[in-house]
Structure 1
Amino acid sequence: MGELELVALDAVSLDLNRGELVVLLGPSGSGKSTLLNILGGLDSPSKGKVRFEGKEISLGGEDDLTDYRRRYVGFVFQFYNLIPSLTSKENVLLVTELSEKSMSAEAALSLVDMGDRMDHFPSQLSGGEQQRVAIARAIAKNPDLLLCDEPTGALDFKTGKIVLDAIEKVNRELHTTTIIITHNEAIAQIADRIIKVRDGKIVSDKVNTHKLKTEEISW
């Protein structure tokens, strides 16, 4: 930024294991969103390397990153990003042609318990229901990596737990490597592994030996 150099991530190094549910935990400005964007191929690091399945993706151009995102990564954002003029099913159908291994829109919506709301528009759904449609859209192409950026940040406690249930179910049943970023320490209790980020550094990376079910957590 002009003469100002801002270090968003500082010598961060980690491995993610297939099928695990990981929470990236840290306060606002800690660098966790930047890390998520790099993992998802939305940003490229100014230094260092990013490898997926042994292949380095950080050296590729924008076409390579687009192909990586299209084939392997599903994104869930805080504010749903559904298209208002499309039904739940139509929103999910948008991504099913992006991958050779896509599931049907009906199957994706049923997996997050939204099979009875397929023909509803976003304006006819609650916030939690919209987020579950967004999760269905993210998983419809059967991604290897599911990245969730503050997925409960815009939701109340009760609705947030329903959304976390849906994410945990996807991780368990599809064996999708799942990363949730949050500032909420309670949410970290459902993870297989908790990585704490502060000031652009990983300050802690631990296996969660006391993993809880979503109904057991509170905040």
Structure 2
Amino acid sequence: MKKSGKNDPKEPVFETVKLGKIYDMGQVKVPALIDINVRFFRSEFSVLLGPSGSGKSTLLNILGGLDSPSSGKILFNNRPLQADQNDDLTEFRRKYVGFVFQFYNLIPSLTAEENVRLVTDISDNPMSSSEALELVGLIDRKDHFPSQLSGGEQQRVAIARAIVKRPEILLCDEPTGALDFKTGKIVLDAISKINKELGTTTIIITHNVSITSIADRVVEMRDGSIVSDKPNLKKTSTENIHW
């Protein structure tokens, strides 16, 4: 898979065309996505907003190559992302995508730096683990184990692990869902900083309306469909958000 240039911020990184997803539950078929037509642009900070069951996690997983659609197509850098080619999807995830989930999934027996360094071993052009931890404000905690870190610190280690390989895309699934307000703001600040400083195309999914205020664009979902797709004309900093 050829990596495109990053010159035009208006160039779509992702484009979906009539994307659909149906889960087969035996005799019952459950539609999770219905005719999704959406684009996400280079270096943009987007929020996918919607309640539980709206389809936002399904869409994020398909964008990240963790799941495949039942119908329609998805373009990555104007080229089809082949859902039936497992080797291509593995390469796509390894080279281009960083994931941050609600739960941190750190290895308990490894330090913060060692957890981050794991990813550099399978990356083509990684930054150093120290540089990644510096970006999320945790260089002074690099020798600590997960049990010695707060929830917010563990989530920032997970962010450092996701961005150490210099991914083109950062996909975040409810990254503040397990955190209190104060800690959640620190985590969002780290994600926003990475988007600004590295130009990483960033998509966060959340049910928290307040988080939309720091995004460039807000895509709202209900019942497997997109009901709104608008630029945020009053973007603010993480300092000014409340929930």
Q: TM-score, normalized by length of structure 1?
A: 0.99
- The correspondence for 2:126, drawn from 92, 99, 102, is 102
SS where residue 37 of structure 2 aligns?
coil
- The correspondence for 1:150, drawn from 174, 177, 186, is 174
SS where residue 30 of structure 2 aligns?
coil
Deviation at 1:98, TM superposition (A): 2.2
Corresponding position of 1:217: 241
Q: Counterpart amino acid of 1:168?
A: S
Matches within 5 A, 1:1-219: 1-219=25-243
Aligned residues: 219
Q: Counterpart amino acid of 1:35?
A: L
Q: Which has the higher strand share?
A: 2
Greater relative CO, 1 or 2 (CA 8 Å, sep 6+): 1
For residues 95-119 of structure 1, give each alpha carbon's deviation from its aligned partner in whole angstroms, at most 9, with x where no partner exists.
1122212100000000000000000
Contact kept, 8 Å, 1:45 with 1:58, in 2: the verdict is no
Contact kept, 8 Å, 1:95 with 1:137, in 2: the verdict is yes
CA distance in 1, matches of 2:43, 2:187: 19
CA distance in 2, matches of 1:122, 1:42: 26
Residue segments in structure 1 that go unaligned for 5+ positions in a row: none
Q: Counterpart amino acid of 2:120?
A: T
Q: Counterpart amino acid of 2:211?
A: I
Corresponding position of 2:9: none
Contact kept, 8 Å, 2:102 with 2:178, in 1: the verdict is yes
Contact kept, 8 Å, 2:82 with 2:88, in 1: the verdict is no
For residues 132-159 of structure 1, give each alpha carbon's deviation from its aligned partner in whole angstroms, at most 9, with x where no partner exists.
0000000000000000000000000000
Q: Counterpart amino acid of 1:182?
A: T
Q: Percent identity?
A: 67
Q: TM-score, normalized by length of structure 2?
A: 0.89
